[in-house]
Structure 1
């Protein structure tokens, strides 16, 4: 009987030491390069696609995929991504795609600018444009720099991260924009 108590006690001590050692190894940090916890939230973003409302029936579409990574939280000029827009009416119009060069967001408003890299509008490539989006759920609004400066080919270029007030309405049921607010370390 005494031998079995000693054996049981020794076994319990061995199990306890194994549990403590294993727990300490697990608690010491990630192993084999595996990350722990969720990745950091990106610093800012503007995504989504929608058509604008025009009573004359214009076919106007804007699409955004703009992001500011968490590690660039202090510099909106490090934003990446693209945005595209098109405007057609009665068989005429144009489309353009731009590479993002700046993204600023605050609350539910985003301002993104970029340089046109692809367009069927002669002379538009290489020109900067800016767009402002107000994320209002199903009633988003949008404005663009060329409302004040004229066509990207004819007008002056805005500086980085400059758009216009979001005066246009998104066509009901056509899509939705999403703004991730920027929360810089000040």
Structure 2
């Protein structure tokens, strides 16, 4: 799998084929008519509990791909936690995908350190990221953050560590969609 590990930013180009708009600062978005469905993403959490993202249809879902070994992932964690707590009442559910951690212990420790209020799927080999179709707003780097609309479609993708301002700016139009 060709992933850029722990990249600090950048964007991938949008085109008429992909129907997504290359955003500034590494955040790409898709208009509602051009959004692709989220593939089946399920597995066991870091705590060993089953989790299927399809269970969150009807909510906006923020999916953050991270690793405990990744400095940008660690830097964005406090912002993700803050926005997860701030937007829960708006029907926003956060889910992590912990990847490339061969041992769960560092990931669990990091979640406790930041008091992460949402579950993370444990994906040590990165297989969940391979489920995203090429040409979609797929996670191509670590960290990556996807925003899924209430209909289960990929609405936005960030290929960089996010701060609170960028994440809220990305979520606001989706929260406004009914």
> Considering only CA atoms, is the larger Rg found in Structure 1 or Structure 2?
1
- Which protein, 1 or 2, shows the higher relative CO under an 8 Å CA cutoff with sep ≥ 6? 2
Q: Do the structures match in fold with TM over 0.5?
A: no
Query: TM-score range with shorter-chain normalisation?
Result: under 0.3
TM-score by length of 2: 0.27
